[in-house]
Amino acid sequence: MSLLSHIDPLYALSGVLVGGLVGMTGVGGGALMTPILILVFGINPATAVGTDLLYASITKTGGTFVHGYHRTIDWRVVGLLALGSIPATALTILTLYELRIGSRTTQAVITDVLAVALFFTAVSLILRKPLTRYYTSWAGELDPKLVRNLTIVTGAVLGVLVSLSSVGAGAIGAMALVLLYPKMGAQRIVGSDIAHAVPLTLTAGMGHLALGSIDTHILVSLLAGSIPGIVVMSFVAARASDTAVRIALAFVLMLVCLKFWFF
């Protein structure tokens, strides 16, 4: 009873909704939860970012287990992304600590850039097959070493963006995987994206915990709703058709774009 008394039903409901979207599409953790905490609940931006990072690391762990069970994770790709993201995350958190950089101005710049990137990501997913054919005929097969290096660089970029805003682990990661691995199925894109987000958001979240920007009451309430949501929808995503997952992902990205542009 003592644990239940600390759960806020409104936060828990938000966790169910966002956790379900993360399980289905791999996107929605930072891109939707952070704005909800700031715009709907009036939480301080720094606290919203830090709390959301730990929330994302725990919820996506559940999703990773499900996707791993269904073998919809490319662990080699996850490792390459983490090779870039973990050091970049640690350096970003250290920089924030040393320079005492305020998050509001930085987030404003990042969200403007992400809005454009998310829009093109959604378009590329909706038109994935024709774009893939055109991209293959124009660029041909990418050199495996180049793909490897670009994957590591992508991880580093994600480490910086996620540490500053809690946004990008799902959406930008999915975009990069689509471009770098055009033959990878949508389920594996989602699964690999979720699996990589676990060490990334955990590292960033622990950094924010050290900076004091975590609200444990909100975190517990969000987890109470999101863990069941992400597990159930991860099962649905793993069994859904390639087209269904791709369109669902594009729809979520469009909603995120609207949030960035109009709020």
Tens-digit pLDDT profile for residues 5-14:
568 888 988 8
The residue behind tokens 């509001």 is 104
Report the pLDDT value the prediction gives residue 150, as an integer from 0 to 100: 94
| pLDDT value at 132 more than 70 | no
Report the pLDDT value the prediction gives residue 105, as an integer from 0 to 100: 63
Report the pLDDT value the prediction gives residue 46, as an integer from 0 to 100: 76
Question: Residue 163, Cβ neighbours under 10 Å: how many?
Answer: 28
| pLDDT value at 89 more than 50 | yes
Half-sphere exposure of 48 (CA within 13 A, CB side): 23
Q: Which amino acid is at 244?
A: A
Q: Which domain holds residue 24?
A: 4-262
∠ CA 145-128-30 to the nearest 5 degrees?
80
Report the pLDDT value the prediction gives residue 112, as an integer from 0 to 100: 67
Does the CA dihedral 161-123-259-223 come out positive or negative?
A: negative
Domains held by the chain: number = 1
Question: Residue 59, Cβ neighbours under 10 Å: how many?
Answer: 30
Tens-digit pLDDT profile for residues 174-218:
778 877 887 788 788 888 988 999 999 999 999 988 888 788 889
Pick from 218, 183, 177, 225: nearest CA to 26: 177
The helix-helix angle for 216-239 and 9-25 (nearest 10°) equals: 30
Tens-digit pLDDT profile for residues 214-257:
888 899 998 888 878 777 776 776 566 666 766 776 777 777 67
